[in-house]
Amino acid sequence: MGQNHMEFINGFSKKGGKVSNLDRIKGLLEALGNPEKSLRFVHIAGTNGKGSMAQMFNEIFIDAGYKTGLFTSPYLIEYNDRIQINGRNISDDELCELVEEIKPVVEGSVDRNNFSQFEITQAIAFLYFKRQDCDVVVLETGVGGLLDSTNVIERPLVSVIGSVAYDHTAILGDTLEKIAYQKAGIIKKNCPCVLSTGNSMEVISTVRSKAMEMTSQLVIPNLYLCKAYKWDIFGCEFSYKGQEYALSMGGLHQISNALTVIEAIKYPAEKMRISEENIKNGLKKAKVYARVEVLSEKPLTILDGGHNPDGMKALSKAVETVSATPKIAIIGMLKEKNVHNAIKELLGQVDKFVCVDGFYPLEMPKEELKSIINDLGGRAEVSDMPTDELIRAVQKENANGLTLICGSLFLAAKVKGFDM
C-alpha cells in the first residue's frame, strides 16, 4: 500500500476526541452518502467471544451463498485484515482508492482533528461493502456498544451480546451493570437480541431491562438443551435442540459462542435462505487467529490473545485438557489490564512463565510482570532474547510439553508475523 495512505490513517489517534454521542461518525457517513443505510447487519458486542462469533456468522452466510462483509478489530497480521468480503481482505489498491475518496471529506470536516482511527476505518469499510454490493455485513463493535461508532446503524437483522466481563473499565465503567449497560446500547427498537449464556445475573438483568425498553425480543440459549461430547484444544462436538454440531475452534467456551450464533442466525434466516446444513458447515469452518490457536502439534504450541480474567479463564480450561507436561507460558500483558486477576486464572495450569515485553508501547515491563506472577505464587522469569528466538528455544527445550504464548493480542500479532 502507498505509504502516504497508511500515514493518513495512522495520523489519527487510536481513541480520537472525547465521545458523548454519535454525531461525529453520523456526520462523516452522511457526507459519504450514508453507505450503511443500504446494508444489512448482524451487530456483535461483548467483552469476550466477539471475534469467534463474528467468524461463525461469516462462514454460515458464505456457506449459504451470500456475499458477506466482515468488519473486525484489532488486526493481527496486517491492517487489511479488518475489512473482508467472503474471507478475502480488502486489497491494497482498493484501500488506497477509498482513502483517496474519503480524505477530502475528512479534511473538510469540523471534526477532522477528533476522528479516531477506528472511525476512519469504519467509514472506509462501509463504503467498500456498499460498493461491492454485499448481501450482509457481520459488524463487530470496537469498545462497548452504546457510544461505539458502529452503533450508528439503525436496524440490524439481530443484535448479539457475548460474554460481558471486566475490561476497558476506564471507558465503560467499574461495575458489571455499567459495562452491560454500554454493551446493551446496541439493542435497537423492535430488533431481536441474543445474549450469550453464562453471564451473571447483573448482566442479564441489565440487558433484559434494555430489551424491554426497546420492545426487543431477548433470547438466551438454553444450556439444559445442550450436551457437550468433546472439547479440547483441537475442537468441540456437541448437540443442541436435537442437532449435532462440530467446531474446529478449541475450548469449552466456543460451545457457548456457538449456541449464541445458533439462536441468533434464525433471525436473518427469516429473510434469507439459510439451511441447517449451512449452519453446521459454517460453524465447522470458522477459525480465528490467536484464540486457542494450535501453531504446532510437535512440539505442541498454542497461541492465545486472551488478556482479561474471563479470557484467561477460558484459556485455562482449554489448557487443562492438555496432558503434555511441563506447560511453559511465554507471556506479555498491557499495563492497563486487570493483570493480577488474569494471572490468577492461569496459575494452576502453568508450570513456568517466561515474561516478555517489546511488543507494544503500553505493555507492562517484563520485570514488573515477573514480580506479580511470583507474588501470586507462580514461577516466573524474564528473557532478554528476541521473542521469535525465545519461542524456538522453549520449543526445543520443551519438546514433549506444551509451549503457550499468551497475555495480549498485540503479542499474538507480533508472533503471527514470525516465520515459525
Which CATH number goes with the domain that contains 370?
3.90.190.20
Question: Which of 186, 111, 183 has the alpha carbon at shortest distance from 156?
Answer: 186
Give the span between the Cα atoms of 224 and 230, in whole angstroms.
17
User: Residue 409 carries which side chain, given as an amino acid letter?
Assistant: L
The residue to which cell 484501500 is assigned: 95
The pLDDT value recorded for residue 168 is 54
**Do residue 64 and residue 99 come from a single domain?**
yes
**Do residue 162 and residue 270 come from a single domain?**
yes
Q: Which residue ranges of the chain lie beneath pLDDT 50?
A: 1, 420
**Do residue 302 and residue 402 come from a single domain?**
yes
**Do residue 276 and residue 394 come from a single domain?**
no
The residue to which cell 469540523 is assigned: 110
Give the span between the Cα atoms of 345 and 347, in whole angstroms.
6
Give the span between the Cα atoms of 365 and 374, in whole angstroms.
15
The pLDDT value recorded for residue 143 is 82
Give backbone dihedrals phi and psi of 373, rounded to 5 degrees, phi first.
-65, -45
Alpha-carbon Rg of the chain, whole angstroms? 21
Q: What pLDDT digit, counting tens, does each position of 250-291 carry?
A: 999 999 999 999 999 999 999 999 999 999 999 999 999 899
The alpha carbon torsion through 373, 47, 15, 5 (nearest 10 deg) reads: 100
Q: Strand pairing of 136-140 and 41-45?
A: parallel
Host domain of residue 25? 3-285
**Do residue 197 and residue 318 come from a single domain?**
no
**Do residue 161 and residue 101 come from a single domain?**
yes
- Give, in order, the Cα–Cα distances in Å from 411 to each of 287, 305, 343, 362: 19, 8, 16, 12
**Do residue 136 and residue 179 come from a single domain?**
yes
The pLDDT value recorded for residue 1 is 42
Considering its fold, how many domains does the chain have in total? 2
The residue to which cell 434464525 is assigned: 266
Q: What pLDDT digit, counting tens, does each position of 3-55 carry?
A: 577 889 888 988 888 888 999 999 999 999 999 999 999 999 998 899 999 99
**Do residue 269 and residue 314 come from a single domain?**
no
Give the span between the Cα atoms of 184 and 203, in whole angstroms.
9
**Do residue 260 and residue 300 come from a single domain?**
no
Which of residues 251, 285, 319 is at a domain's end? 285
**Do residue 262 and residue 341 come from a single domain?**
no
Asked if the bond preceding 299 is cis, omega within 30° of 0, the reply is yes
Give the CATH number, domain containing residue 257: 3.40.1190.10
**Do residue 338 and residue 360 come from a single domain?**
yes
CB distance 394 to 383 below 8 Å? no
Which of residues 258, 285, 312 is at a domain's end? 285
Give the span between the Cα atoms of 48 and 345, in whole angstroms.
15
Which of residues 285, 305, 333 is at a domain's end? 285
**Do residue 237 and residue 330 come from a single domain?**
no
